[in-house]
Amino acid sequence: MNENEKNKKRADNENEETLTNRQGHPVTNNQNMRTVGNRGPTTLENYDFLEKISHFDRERIPERVVHARGAGAHGYFTATGKAGDEPVSTYTRAKLFQEEGKQTPLFVRFSSVIHGGTSPETLRDPRGFAVKFYTEDGNWDLVGNNLKIFFIRDAIKFPDLIHAFKPDPVTNIQDGKRIFDFCSSSPETFHMITFLFSPWGIPANYRMMQGSGVNTYKWVNEEGKAVLVKYHWEPKQGIKNLTQDEADKIQATNFNHATQDLYEAIEKGDFPEWDLFVQIMSDDDHPELDFDPLDDTKLWPNDTFPWKHVGTMTLNKNPEDYFTEVEQVAFGTGVLVDGLDFSDDKMLQGRTFSYSDTQRYRVGPNYLQLPINAPNKRVATNQRGGQMQYKVDLGEKQNPHINYEPSTIDGLKEAKPTAKEYTPFIEGHLVRESIDRPSNTKQAGETFRNFEEWEREELIANLVSALGPADKRIQEKMIALAEEADQEYGRRLRDGLANAPKGETEHSKPISSKEGNDAPEEAVEKGHDAEPY
């Protein structure tokens, strides 16, 4: 019996508006529990109450460890059929890119990284930019951030990075001293710190921010030849960022402003759009560069590796239910379709395990059966059981007794390859070593010099505010990184810290405000007396 047939069946005392419980029983009294007399006590067999309250007790799934605060929307991607002026088939056989005008449905989730699910959307933080394409070959997840680089280049450091930015495990307060303690001892973070503490660390909203795949991927064509590729989303609405003072004023009146902005724009038909560009590089280690192209702390210079337009994304539909769609949507960097592949980027390799693994913990092993995560095509697997399985993904002619492969009695069969397989040659010793060309600060200096003067002023002011309470040794290490990046950068940071208010506190304030240290005292001073009642 299909869902439509089920929905037509009703008890004698119900119509299309009647409330039922999950067992399908019409609820005749949703105002009162069953009690002994109208004053109680209650009785244990209150099924309607027990079902309702026990579900309520469980209606929040574990919050994402990172990217907990988010907003999302449905839309579609329209391909150009080209990569810049060239046929896109030169580089990739992925079907969604091949034809001019071809549209692929998608879902996007924007998010902040460090803070909790109801945190203000004005906090200084990278923003997640994750896109799920429902292609004819299955799902493709392009999971990235608004900033085009990352803090670290090796996934083994990711828990350390997040722990440093998360609240102190004793005080439960985000602490700038802890952040800079980690970052000053991890020089590869300095480029991202330069972006994060500039106005680029607080996008004005989700519609007016860039997106990036951050990591290096590969494209594979029909001949099985590969190129390295980076993805860039550029908003057709323009780009807007906020200073700290501007963000503080918005936060004082509305801490959901970015979610509201996205929802209302789509509701009134002002559909946001982003152009998707790629940068392409031959698949080798490029010794002519002073950085490794697989290093996700680096930008590829666009004068050497120009951006090539491949399509446009349009968001035209808001979620019908936030939890079902935005909260339960699950992304993974390993979710690729034919024609797309992984590079050896060490952060990408680690993310590919971590992202899908955390969704199996957070949502459950059958999270891919949820409509928001399920591909828009047939699914047939030998996977069985697990928490929250509600259907079996059988093939049309599959013997239901056979959940293994190979089989001669109507089990599932392997698909035949449709193009030449990509088979990169790999050799080398297994080692635990850093890359040969770290170049930790050069691009940070270039970024500093490319900023407008007001952005440089804001960067220095924010760094001085956050670094002010830190240990002098940490300050000196951060100044040394700034000086290595750019002499003016280092000088302005040193002068700013020398002129900062003295008096180190035991614990630093969060990085989200220049004035946060006085907030506890202000609350006492400005609080109004009240008598007990």
Q: Which residues are annotated as a binding site for heme?
A: 355
Q: Which residues contact 159 (CB under 8 A, 6 or more apart)?
A: none
111 φ, ψ (degrees, to nearest 5): -160, 165
Q: Which residues of 158-178 are buried (b: 16+ CB within 10 A; e: fewer)?
A: beebeebbbbeeeeeebbbbb
Beta pairing, strands 70-79 & 127-135:
unpaired
Positions of E strands within 213-282 = 217-220, 226-235, 273-282
Q: Which residues contact 324 (CB under 8 A, 6 or more apart)?
A: 370, 371, 372
C-alpha 148, offset from chain centre: 13
Give the CA radius of gyration of the chain: 27
Q: Which residues contact 421 (CB under 8 A, 6 or more apart)?
A: 224
Active site residue 67: yes
Q: 428: phi > 0 → left, psi -120 to 50 → alpha, else beta; which?
A: left
250 φ, ψ (degrees, to nearest 5): -65, -45
Q: Which of 67, 74, 115, 191 is catalytic?
A: 67
Check: CB of residue 189 under 8 Å from CB of residue 183.
yes
CA angle at 120 for the pair 118 and 123, rounded to the nearest 5°: 130
Distances in Å between the Cα of 455 and the Cα atoms of 195, 334, 361 are 10, 36, 41
Q: Which residues of 315-325 are buried (b: 16+ CB within 10 A; e: fewer)?
A: beebbeeeeeb
Secondary structure class of 83 (helix, strand, coil): strand
Secondary structure class of 147 (helix, strand, coil): coil
501 φ, ψ (degrees, to nearest 5): -55, 135
Burial class (CB in 10 A: 0-12, 13-18, 19+), 513: buried
List the binding residues: 355
Q: Which residues contact 60 (CB under 8 A, 6 or more apart)?
A: none
Residue corresponding to tokens 């990085």: 511
Check: CB of residue 468 under 8 Å from CB of residue 497.
yes
Token readout for 160 is 């350390």
| Alpha helix stretches (DSSP H) within 11-132 | 47-57
Active site residue 74: no
CB neighbours of residue 7 within 10 Å: 9
Token readout for 445 is 């200096």
Q: Which of 139, 145, 221, 318 is catalytic?
A: 145
Which of 191, 192, 268, 200 is CA-nearest to residue 239? 200
Q: Which residue numbers are catalytic?
A: 67, 145
